Amino acid sequence: MYRLDPRYAPAPQAVLHTGWQAVASQLPDGPTVVAIDGPPSVDWSLLGDRLAHELTGRGTPVTLLDIRSHYARPALVRSRTERPADADDPYFRGLADNPLVDLFEILPVAAPPKEGLLLVYGPGAALVDHDLLWYADVPKRYAEAAVGAGEPGANLGLPGEKPDFRRLFYIDWPMIDQHRDSLVRRLDAWIDMQRPDHPAWIDGAGLRATYAALARQPVRTRPYFNSTPWGGHWAQRELGFNPDARNTALGYELIAPEAGILIGTGPQAQAEVPFQLMCVLEPDSVLGAQVHARFGTSFPIRFDYLDTVGGGSLSVHCHPKESYMRERFGWDYTQHETYYLTLGSTDTKVFLGLREDADVDVFRKEVERAVTDAVPMDPEDHVLAFPAEQGQLFMIPAGTPHASGAGNLVLEISATPLSVQPAVLRLAAARCRRQPAPPALRARVRQPRDRTTRCGRRPRPGSRAAHPARGHRLAGGGHRRAGRDVL
């Protein structure tokens, strides 16, 4: 049975509470400085108000310090965290590696109170001197939704400012993840704020013990399906996932930087905690020593579904080669993929690799006209199309144009360098909700650098190459390898 909420019991010594009264009961009477850090997507004003209400209600004096009110002016935050070389690129940025201290001109002084509690909260709160350290969190899908809805202040270090997806994916998330990962070994508690009126709290030592136990057993992250303009409806019909959503295009089974693990005893007593922190705390158990040595704490494989059943075709796209990943994003590995056709037929398609006779300059011009003038284009004029038979496995090296056609359910197993690759498609999808998605053309469509490995050449009629289904067979199906690449 497919579980929409796979859940694991916390370690025996862990303490899990839910509700504001229970959460506040874990705070001392003072005098104490409590720092509560976390991402900007947390409802920080509500958190401060609810804790203050519970504390004063029991007779504990409390002073609130919203760390966000001490950020440097927005222009300075932007100049510190954005690279001049990215100024003219409307789609991508290099991955930020700034510490959160770059959000401040001067950190506030958190003087210990004479009585009661000083509660310092917001992104960067851990940077002030404190006695207790908590971390409040919501999964990254909430941040993405907030930016998509245009909520002011959804970006890190820019309260009140208009949000931006580029900044979220390439600046906010890398900075927040680096900061959170540096804190996890000394956290006193974790708060899941997905239900603002009913938060879940787990003690820090218990959280780390739970991660240690889970790292030594099979574990599944909480699945999540996202909607896009091209998405299908298989997951809605067959799995019952989010039936009121527009569609269930992208099914995230495991994309490590965004995935969460449910810890608890039931829907009313559970916390969702980041899978990535298990890699940080238990890297050799999760990754193995050799993978840890090569990839650090980055879990390098992702599993997701592409649902186009009853939907449209996925946008034709390609992922950068490793050299481009290093030069443009500062990351040392890229996204090689496989498509496994969980559902498909001889009447549906997978687009994979440039045709041997493709003219890249013409391809570029047609794409530009489609974007600027809404002139329809047929990708099969430039990209090979293969029957998407159920059980087929398609090999997709980085730099190869590819897409799933309409009517398929693809299990995608690939390398995952942070959230950069999923972000590219989601950025286009977000723009497409408002207007035709302008693809990232500049430096994306190039003449192939290596024309020596091709299986996409136009075959002679009647030849073996004219029948691509005769490729090497694997258990349960066959496999294809891409033709020409473009990056």
User: What pLDDT does residue 469 have?
Assistant: 31
* Average pLDDT over every residue of 92-104: 92
Residue of 404, 398, 407 whose CA lies nearest to 339 = 404
Query: pTM for this structure?
Result: 0.85
Is the model's pLDDT at 411 over the cut of 60? yes
Q: What percent of the chain has pLDDT over 90?
A: 68
**Poorest-pLDDT segment among 36-40, 242-246, 269-273:** 242-246
Query: Mean pLDDT for the chain?
Result: 86
What average pLDDT does the segment 6-30 reach? 97
What's the pLDDT score for residue 337? 92
Residue 332: its pLDDT value, please?
78
Give Cα 45 to chain centroid, integer Å: 25
Q: Among the listed ranges 49-58, 376-385, 423-432, which one has the minimum average pLDDT value? A: 423-432
Spell out the residues 6+ positions from residue 112 whose beta carbon is closer than 8 angstroms to its own. Answer: 31, 32, 33, 118, 131
More confident residue, 371 or 214: 214
> Which tokens is 235 given?
């997951």
Residues 357-361 have a mean pLDDT of: 91
Which pair of structure tokens corresponds to residue 97?
């590696």
Residues 6+ apart with CB under 8 A from 436: 370, 371, 374
Does the CA dihedral 246-249-251-255 come out positive or negative? Answer: negative
Cβ distance 307 to 249 under 8 Å?
yes
| pLDDT at residue number 326 | 80
Q: Which pLDDT value is given to residue 382?
A: 93
Angle, helices 140-148/420-432, rounded to nearest 10 degrees: 30
The answer on pLDDT for 350 being more than 70 is yes
Is 486:401 a contact under the CB 8 Å cutoff?
yes
Q: What is the pLDDT of residue 443?
A: 38
Side chain identity, residue 256: A
Decide if 72 contacts 147 (C-beta within 8 A). Answer: no
User: Per-residue confidence at 417, pLDDT binned at 50, 70, 90?
Assistant: low
The whole-angstrom separation of Cα 146 and Cα 419 is: 17
Distance of CA 226 to the CA centre of its chain: 11
State the Cα–Cα distance between residues 137 and 131, nearest whole angstrom. Answer: 20
pLDDT in tens, 175-204: 999 999 999 999 999 999 999 999 999 999
* Residue 2: band (very low, low, confident or very high) from pLDDT cuts 50, 70, 90: confident
Q: What is the mean pLDDT of residues 373-395?
A: 93
pLDDT at 419: 52
- Chain segment 426-482, per-residue pLDDT in tens: 334 444 444 444 444 443 443 333 332 233 333 333 333 333 332 222 333 444 444
Which of the pair, 118 or 227, is modelled with greater confidence?
Answer: 118
Res 169 pLDDT > 50: yes
Angle at 102 between CA 96 and CA 108, to 5 degrees: 150
Quote the pLDDT of residue 331: 77
Q: Is the pLDDT of residue 276 over 60?
A: yes
pLDDT at position 399: 87
DSSP 74: H
β-pair partners for 62: 117
Percentage of the chain beyond pLDDT 70 is 85
Inform me whether the pLDDT recorded for 145 exceeds 80. yes
State residue 409's pLDDT score. 97
Higher local confidence (pLDDT), 232 or 442 = 232
339: number of Cβ within 10 Å? 27
At 418 the pLDDT is 58
Token pair belonging to 273: 């905690």
Would you place residue 487 in the very low, low, confident or very high pLDDT band (cuts 50, 70, 90)? very low
pLDDT at residue 120, rounded to an integer: 98
DSSP state of 258: T
